[in-house]
């Protein structure tokens, strides 16, 4: 015969155990996100002068007498070069003591066909001081940044072109004109620095408009 008192005690113990068991704890928001796939970081865009000095510091570790002779930007659909900013900048430096030139790149992102993020460099090549394409310039000439050059170019036809053809990419090239003794920003609107619809020259020392280029 079943002892009713014992049965009642057992049922009561089972009920107490069931009530005291706590439900599974909810995951905190940060714990829930821990297993989530990280989102890709947005690319960093910089003006030419900012990226240039990052590369300049690296070039001076290669050769203390390194001097620049060219700076240019790259563009793509996600970073078309508006406002004077680019996702990739490249600069070339010459060292008279080494008799060499060396290219550097600054990248604000990563992806197919892009340099590694940060500052990287390429192989050295022979330097000829008489070559017009490797005419070095002094840093005191470089006073006007690419965003300022962009504003001037916009006023001289760039803005009208962008309204007519939205998504047009903008490219910037900086070099020294030895005959005129001028450091020049060449601002090109189009598919590449050589395939452009409009190209304008801006003085990189004063910010003044120089001319429309052909």
pLDDT of 48: 98
DSSP assignment of the chain equals ---HHHHHHHHHHHHHHHHHSPPPPPPPHHHHHHTSPPPPPPPP-EEHHHHHHHHHHHHHHH-TT-EEEEEEEE--SSS--GGGEESEEEEEEEETTTTEEEEEEEESS--TTPPPSEEEE---EE--TT-GGG----GGG--S-HHHHHHHHIIIIIHHHHHHSTT-EEEEEEEEETTTTEEEEEEEEESSSSSEEEEEEEETTT--EEEEE-
pLDDT of 9: 44
pLDDT of 125: 96
pLDDT tens track of the chain, all 214 residues?
Answer: 445 454 444 444 444 444 444 454 555 555 445 555 556 677 899 999 999 999 999 999 999 999 999 999 999 888 999 999 999 999 999 999 999 999 999 999 887 788 999 999 999 999 998 888 899 999 999 999 999 999 999 999 999 999 999 999 999 999 999 889 999 999 999 998 889 999 999 999 999 999 999 7
pLDDT of 99: 96
């Amino acid at each position: 015969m079943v002892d009713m008192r014992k049965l009642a005690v057992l049922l009561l113990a089972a009920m107490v155990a069931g009530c005291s068991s706590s439900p599974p704890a909810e995951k905190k928001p940060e714990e829930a996100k821990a297993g989530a796939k990280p989102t890709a970081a947005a690319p960093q865009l910089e003006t030419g002068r900012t990226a240039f000095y990052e590369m300049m510091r690296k070039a001076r570790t290669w050769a203390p007498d390194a001097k620049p002779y060219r700076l240019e930007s790259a563009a793509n659909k996600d970073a078309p070069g508006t406002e004077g900013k680019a996702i990739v900048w490249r600069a070339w430096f010459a060292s008279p003591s080494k008799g060499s030139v060396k290219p550097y790149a600054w990248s604000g992102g990563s992806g197919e066909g892009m340099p590694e993020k940060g500052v990287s460099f390429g192989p050295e090549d022979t330097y000829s001081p008489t070559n017009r394409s490797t005419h070095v310039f002094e840093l005191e000439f470089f006073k006007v940044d690419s965003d300022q050059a962009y504003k001037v170019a916009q006023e001289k036809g760039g803005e009208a072109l962008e309204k007519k053809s939205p998504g047009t990419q903008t490219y910037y090239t900086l070099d020294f004109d030895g005959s005129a003794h001028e450091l020049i920003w060449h601002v090109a609107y189009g598919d590449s620095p050589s395939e452009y619809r409009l190209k304008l020259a801006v003085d990189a020392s004063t910010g003044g408009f120089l001319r429309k280029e052909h």
